[in-house]
Amino acid sequence: MKKFYFLLVFQLAMASAWAQSQSYSAKVVDAKKEPVPGASVNIKGTEIYAATNAEGVFTLETEMTNFILQVSALAFKPKEIIVTNGSIPASISLEENTEQLDDVVVTALGIERDRQSIGASVTEVSAKELTDVPMTNVVNSLAGQVAGVQITNGSSGPGSSSRIIIRGENSLSGSNQPLFVVDGVPISNELVASNLTNDGALQEVDFGNGAAEINPDDIASMSILKGPGSAALYGSRAANGVVVITTKRGEKKRGFGVSTSSLLTFETLLTMPDYQNVYGGGSNGQYSFENGVGGGVNDGGISSYGPKLDQGQLIKQFDSPSVDINGNPVRGGDVIARTYPDGSYTDITPTAWTSRPDNVRNFFETGITSQHNIAISSSNDRSAIRFSYSNLRNEGAIPNTDLKRDGLALSVDQELSDRLSASLFVDYINSRSENRPNLGYGYENVMYGFNWTGRQTNIESLQDYWQAGQEGIQHYDFNYLWLTNPYLTLFENTNSFNKDRVLGNANVTYDFSEKLNLRVRTGMDNYNDDREFRRAYSTNRNPYGSYREDNVSFREITTDVLLSYNDRINSAFRYGLSAGANRMDQKTEYTYTTAAQLAVPGVYSLANSRVPLSGNSQVFDKRINSVYAIANLAYRTSLYLDLNVRNDWSSTLPEDNNSFAYYSASLSYVLSNMISMPEGTYAKLRVSAASVGNDTEPYQLANTFQFNQNYGSDFRVTNESVLKNANLKPERLNAYEVGAEVWVLDNRVQMDVAAYQNTSVNQIIGRPVSSASGYTNVIENGGEVRTRGLEAMVRGKIINGRDFQWLGTVNFSTFRSVVTKLPEGVDQFVTGTASVFAGNGGANTVFYIASEGGQVGDMYGTGFIEVDGETLYNENGLPVQDPTLRLLGNYNPDFTMGFGTEFRYKFVSLSVLFDWRKGGTIVSRTKALGSTSGVLQETLEGRETGVVGDGVMNVGTDDNPIYVTNTTAAPASQFYNSFYDRGNEESALYDASYVKLRQVSLYFNMPSKFVKRIGFEKIQVGLIGSNLFLWTENPHFDPELNAFQEQNITYGVEDMSYPSTRSFGISLKTQF
């Protein structure tokens, strides 16, 4: 009996021990039987968790023999396995979740993270969203797609620069654009316009921003790291956010694949100034052409207050028939051929004085853009390679403007051993153009000329742009004092460039174990940009022509090392630790040489200069050394804590102040994994905080002498106008963000909302100082800017049937940046200016002024004296100017929204994207000049009877004013010249609001049976369009196109912009 009890107790004990230590193991695989590492395994209703290793195998222990096993992994649908009597399958297969959105997001340093683990704001833009309606500048593809992202364009057509701002402007004087990163390596997105000087004979030329050259077809995804909390690991260059681009790679599976895409689009004008067509050129109702310099009746002027059009009058004009002194037929504008030795002219036969309503519109052409891309990939179990070639050709809507771009990209991924892997990406891009159009104020911008071109002018007759017998020497025009023939401007006065760029990176990763790995990465961005500026003889500001050569070269080499360790504390907690170092070396060189006059017309060479050559050269070097560390802690799949720290040493700051540290912390709390919620619900709260620094440009610490124009054979040098500061400190940005993500109805409705505050202190500014000091400004630290904003996104599947789906997306953002503090003793200071109406009569200028309590983006200018809100007029019926600066408005919008929708029916999909900007102010140079000259529609009022201004006049004295309603009519030409005077900006304001139909695409996926029968895997044909419609109160231009001044896009000012265009075309994509 004792033996029996002993055996019974022993067996029960063994059974109990067995029940407590039962081990279960299985392998998790995908549909292709490939292992799924990192999958989460949980016994439902318990705290027992496990995760699969690199081979997809997991092991867990439990005393239970009957339970439900829950298995989940990124990009796969969750699965439940019923386990009975301890019987578990050896292999668990997961189904890919094609409906799961943005589950894996590329974050700082190129690290892929589970979306639910991220505690800061990151928005992913897919390759489809970038290539369904591809843009020549990939930055423009973000317009309307991402909350909190503002895109502002130049106006010179395809190839124009685009400026991107994320969550407003943090710096009063520094760059506010985000950092661009390709495969973990920063690249340059800077634009360099007319190189070192804003030469009046060259004006502004936009050669495009750096990121525009990236081929959209090579992009796998684009992540927008909106705040410092998500971008701090990139250091001081990421204070304004980061755009992380991940390129396409060959897939590591056996096989050979080819994909192609072809696109052909046509561009037509979307906007055009609203010209009047009632009165022609001239003054006081009179005009007659003789020589274009004042020899006739008002033919030296460029106003449009001349005779009424379409009244049957015959008037001498520049294209009226005439003869030369030998009796041969010429045109009236062939002045040299018509001039007798005594200075008199042959006669001109008058022709009909008729309106030309479409003379400017017909000057432009239908632009054509073709884009082709082919990618070849080959791979096996251990390696993958992808090679692509891209080709872009554009003939612009602006005559004789173009853009050509060719790209070669190669990516290689190789597993050298079970522990060692390597990857390589190289992208060579050649961009070039025979002519990029001039912008801004002056004859070289043809839109400037059209603001002074009489409405009777037959612009088409200017195509033969040399005077008879004066080919290459004297151009043909209707005015020889102020303007230059627009065809000569675009066909002879060209601005060409040829830019070679190589960017790429190489990575080596060694896995010491499943938990510990080391990554070494080095990357480079290098380009060389050669430019030529040609100016023909007789050009208004270059009677002897000119020629200039520029060279811009840039090189940045970045190397970083990252050691990472990941492990589990127990089944509930896991953590990761990383430490790394980075070194960035950057060098920029600018060189230009000018032949200010040509010895022989039409020979464009520095050797053909009739005067001594002039030039300059500058070199800018910068280095940043960095160390950083990362710590991640996760509690199951519910709570994630990220801690980051980085320290930079910048060469642009003083030795005692060149070290500055950044910190960021973020917390992600996935409520739906912690508390019971309705089936199919995902909910997450996130919070982040960060403190990052921002340095300055090179050579801001000590003053140097500058070479000036030689005095005879002697060199001349001058002091710099800005006093440098050897005690500069880095700017500091403190950022806080809270957000929430909620997905309901099995992910059919997804919502994301964020609120943030950024406070930038120790601003590096140029504070004005007394001219008695010998300087205009001093560089110093001071000032504080606080930005608060709100963002929201809702995405949903409105209808989700088997054959028909209707998807919709809405995003919203608003922010307000307030100047909360300025340096001691400073109430306000000018952070920048923008010219609106320059010339001999003075220059009215928009002043960007930072004042305590004011907002970043506040614009100041002059207006009229007002009495109780009404404009004051003098005894002649003209408005009285007020020289005191006043607030004109703010260029930032009240809010922006994007509306996207997509309809899918079987093999057809239709996508539409609207972009809405509400609020903001823009000052228009088109309005100012076109109203002064009399070519715009609004100047028709009062042409016959005079204009009575709306306001009051003083019928008393200055000491005892008596204000009554103004009743004095002023001649129209005098009134509009006064109302839009060079000393006034307030009369040229517009609301910058608009709604755009940004994108439309209609794609047809060919039936798979047919496609495979002809040897393809996929064929997709599409009809696409962009910028198809614009709704705005502005009648003359696209408010999205801002001025290009001082080598940059200038917010809040329109500068006689070229018409924006709409494009439509056809797309073909194949895979085989």
Per-position DSSP letters for 714-736, written without gaps between them: EEEEEE-SEE--TT---EEEEEE
Give CA–CA dist 290/331, Å, rounded.
11
Best-predicted range by mean pLDDT (142-151, 837-846, 965-974): 965-974
Give CA–CA dist 341/353, Å, rounded.
31
pLDDT at 714: 63
For residue 244, give the H/E element and its range: strand 242-247
Give CA–CA dist 161/1044, Å, rounded.
9
The 10s digit of each residue's pLDDT in 825-845 is: 788 888 888 877 654 344 568
The 10s digit of each residue's pLDDT in 1031-1041 is: 999 999 999 98
Q: 195 and 531 in contact (C-beta within 8 Å)? A: yes
Cα 291 from chain centroid (whole Å): 46
The 10s digit of each residue's pLDDT in 16-42 is: 444 455 788 899 988 878 888 777 888
Taking alpha carbons only, the member of 369, 452, 269 closest to residue 1038 is 269
Residue 470 lies in a domain: no
pLDDT at 712: 58
Residue 523 lies in a domain: no
The 10s digit of each residue's pLDDT in 317-338 is: 999 999 999 999 999 999 999 9
Q: 203 and 105 in contact (C-beta within 8 Å)? A: no
Q: Judge whether residue 3 has pLDDT over 50.
A: no
* 3-class state of residue 361 by DSSP: helix
Amino acid letter, residue 216 = P
Give CA–CA dist 548/555, Å, rounded.
24
Residue 60 lies in a domain: yes
Residue 21 lies in a domain: yes
Range in 228-237, 338-347, 811-820, 1051-1060 the model is least confident about? 228-237
Residue 85 lies in a domain: yes
Amino acid letter, residue 100 = Q
Taking alpha carbons only, the member of 504, 478, 533, 443 closest to residue 281 is 478
Two tokens, residue 270: 């979307």
Strands 908-918 and 994-1005: what pairing? antiparallel
Distance from the first to the final alpha carbon of the chain: 79
Taking alpha carbons only, the member of 296, 355, 283 closest to residue 932 is 283
Taking alpha carbons only, the member of 688, 674, 787 closest to residue 740 is 688
Higher pLDDT, 166 or 716: 166
Q: Where are the alpha helices (DSSP H) in 463-525?
A: 486-491
Give CA–CA dist 357/459, Å, rounded.
11
Q: What range defines the domain where residue 35 resides?
A: 17-93
Range in 151-155, 648-652, 653-657, 711-715 the model is least confident about? 711-715
Q: What is the count of structural domains for the chain?
A: 1
Q: Judge whether residue 551 has pLDDT over 70.
A: yes
Residue 837 lies in a domain: no
Taking alpha carbons only, the member of 337, 297, 303 closest to residue 317 is 297
Give CA–CA dist 176/857, Å, rounded.
12
Give CA–CA dist 444/204, Å, rounded.
9
Residue 36 lies in a domain: yes
Taking alpha carbons only, the member of 152, 176, 130 closest to residue 994 is 152
CA distances from 940 to 275, 947, 995 (A): 10, 10, 29
Q: Using pLDDT thresholds of 50, 70 and 90, give the confidence band for residue 639.
A: very high
Identify how many contiguous H helices and E strands the chain contains and give both numbers: 9, 64
Q: Judge whether residue 5 has pLDDT over 60.
A: no
Strands 420-433 and 185-187: what pairing? unpaired
pLDDT at 10: 38
Query: What is the overall mean pLDDT for the chain?
Result: 87
pLDDT at 729: 75
Radius of gyration of the chain (CA): 34
pLDDT at 104: 65
Give CA–CA dist 74/489, Å, rounded.
58
Tokens 């919502």 -> residue: 751
**Mean pLDDT value of segment 735-756:** 91
pLDDT at 315: 98
Give CA–CA dist 234/560, Å, rounded.
11
Q: What is the pTM of this model?
A: 0.87
Two tokens, residue 180: 């661009």
Range in 152-161, 206-215, 962-971 the model is least confident about? 152-161
Strands 242-247 and 179-182: what pairing? parallel
pLDDT at 841: 41
Q: At what angle do helices 925-933 and 972-979 cross, to 10 degrees?
A: 160
What percent of the chain has pLDDT above 70?
A: 91
The CATH code of the domain that includes 39 is 2.60.40.1120
Strands 952-954 and 870-873: what pairing? parallel
Label residue 133 exposed, middle or buried (CB < 10 Å: 0-12, 13-18, 19+).
buried
pLDDT at 292: 96
